Every structure is written in C-alpha cells, then in structure tokens.
C-alpha cells in the first residue's frame, strides 16, 4: 500500500485482506475501518469497499 486511495470495488466472492505490516484504512459501507498489522478483514461478496488515503505497508489479498 502506498498511501494513495483506491476506488470502490465489489466482487462476486469473499475477499480476505491481511495486513502484514503497516495499516490499511478500509472504507466499507460508509465507515472507515483501520485494519492494523497482523489483522485480517473479511469483505463479503457483493459488498463495495475501497482503500482510503493514508494506508501504508504490506497487504495480502486472498480471493476465494
């Protein structure tokens, strides 16, 4: 993650977002959620989500 915003997206599958280092600022359903190092956030299929500005570090995206 490079501190830039990434636009809303949706998928027809669940997506797990694992932050290995740093912090991801996740915007989902009108809320800003800080996902910190070592945490995983599961985005259900069909739910719009975006990476908000200020996120930085290493993110692993696990698609199902």
pLDDT tens for the chain, 64 residues long, are: 788 888 899 999 999 999 999 999 999 988 999 999 999 999 999 999 999 999 999 999 999 7
Evaluate whether residue 1 is within a structural domain: no
- The DSSP bridge pattern shows strands 49-51 and 6-9 to be antiparallel
Q: Decide if 42 is inside a domain.
A: yes
CATH number for 56: 2.60.120.10
Distances (CA, A) of 18 to 3, 14, 25, 27: 16, 13, 12, 15
Q: Domain tally for the chain?
A: 1
Q: Is residue 34 part of a domain?
A: yes
**Is-above-0.85 flag for pTM?**
yes
Residue numbers of the domain that contains 11: 6-63
Query: Residue 51 half-sphere exposure, CB side, CA atoms within 13 Å?
Result: 19
Looking at residue 49, its pLDDT comes to 96
């Amino acid at each position: 993650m490079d501190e830039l915003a990434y636009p809303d997206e949706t998928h027809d599958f669940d997506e797990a977002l694992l932050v290995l280092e740093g912090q991801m600022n996740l915007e989902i359903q009108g809320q800003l959620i800080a996902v910190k190092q070592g945490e995983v956030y599961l985005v259900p299929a069909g739910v719009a989500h975006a990476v908000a500005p200020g996120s930085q570090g290493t993110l692993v995206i696990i698609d199902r």
